[in-house]
Amino acid sequence: MNSTRTGHTEQDTTTRDTGSPVFALHRGGKLAVAATVPLRDAADLSLAYTPGVAEVCTAIAEQPELVDEYTWKSKVVAVVTDGTAVLGLGDIGPRASLPVMEGKAILFKQFGGVDAVPIALDCTDVDEIVETVVRLAPSFGGINLEDISAPRCFEIEDRLKERLDIPVFHDDQHGTAVVTLAALRNACALTGRSLGELRAVISGAGAAGVAIARILVEAGIGDVAVTDRKGVVHAEREDLNPVKRMLAGYTNKAGLSGSLETAMAGADVFIGVSGGTVPEAAVATMAPGAFVFAMANPNPEIHPDIARKYAAVVATGRSDFPNQINNVLAFPGIFAGALQVRASAITEGMKLAAAEALAAVVAGELSADRVIPSPFDPRVGPAVTAAVAAAARAEGVARA
């Protein structure tokens, strides 16, 4: 594998307080493997391992589909990264990404009852990543792609979906999109509006921005424009990569061009997934009763104190403000539902079902500070799991 990497260093000479609580918690890692069967004596050993295990191996060799019933394959997800877009840290490499991937695996187990294995790959080449994951796939019931930089993440996901018959899900894209749609549905319900009458502006045309735009269009938003560093993404621009050119084909019905600030004038919704700072003057030009979802971490594009001067509903990506748009509300239940029915893929319909179920959890409890549940709401996981499983059956991708 090609391990040559740019844009980061594996060595850091900064002095760290390794005696702090966060280092204490991480010491030794955050995961372990535990047996689910007894191993008390020779009789147990003969069943769990040789000679008994040979009977199961032979049966699977004769009927490969039995692997789902007699191994952990159908209950476990690979959390795969190349370390190129880790949280707000950027390209820090596979070793430095591993604590995040371990954390992701904990979230899978805690919030979805799904076992997950972190896999940090020491390569950034698209072909190599795809081939590696394809070769690892027989051990897993699903693949969660994590913290892979755009636009490579789009191609990697698409190519894996073509070659694998198990769910492949890039959470930075689709998890963010599902939770955003759920919160937006409830913001509409709270204020007596519908998605179809809203015009949204998304700041950021990376993985999350593209996926949010797509799911909003699928859900029936009135219009959505996406902006990047050069302004509104529109079909007349000659500097668009293939992903942005496709994006321009199904967004921006109003034909906007120019800067983010220009697009925000009169907009009903601002969705930030890019970082940076949006001037208060631009927020003030939005439509009355607007929704501001400023989700950059740790610093929202628009501070909630400023956003609340103009917006009816404000959301961020932070846990210390109301309405946290947190992927953990989506991906554990989505995978739990998909694995429950041994789905061959995660479809657009399954994502929409997840968003609807998530919104419904707090539909009777809405306020400006509560348009999305807390990750610790025990109703979230079961609701999303059931909705995704039902949608998989309805769309014909369930195999159990």
Q: What is the DSSP string of 212-272?
A: HHHHHHHHT-SEEEEEETTEE--TT-SS--HHHHHHHHHS-TT---S-HHHHHTT-SEEEE
Assign 136 to helix, strand or coil. Answer: helix
Q: What is the pLDDT of residue 201?
A: 98
Entry pTM: 0.93
Average pLDDT across each block of 10 residues of the chain; the chain has 400 residues. List them in order: 46 67 93 93 96 97 96 96 91 96 97 97 97 98 96 96 97 95 98 97 95 97 97 95 95 96 98 93 97 94 96 96 96 98 97 98 97 96 98 96
- The total number of residues shown for the chain amounts to 400
Q: What is the pLDDT of residue 298?
A: 86
Cα 92 to chain centroid, rounded = 19
Whether 104 sits among the annotated catalytic residues: the reply is yes
> How far is residue 187's CA from residue 270's CA, in Å, rounded to a whole number?
13
Q: Which of 49, 109, 230, 253 is catalytic?
A: 49
Q: What is the pLDDT of residue 15?
A: 66
The count of C-alpha atoms lying within 13 angstroms of the C-alpha of 11, restricted to the half-sphere facing its C-beta, is 1
Query: What residues pair up with 227 in beta bridges, in sequence order?
Result: 203, 232
Q: What is the pLDDT of residue 321?
A: 96
Cα–Cα–Cα angle for 204, 210, 215, rounded to 5 degrees: 125
Burial string for 191-209 (b: 16+ CB within 10 Å, else e) reads: bebebeebbbbbbbbbbbb
Q: Which of 73, 75, 104, 244 is catalytic?
A: 104
Domains and CATH numbers, the chain: 21-34+72-166 (3.40.50.10380), 173-400 (3.40.50.720)
Q: What is the pLDDT of residue 89?
A: 86
Whether 253 sits among the annotated catalytic residues: the reply is no
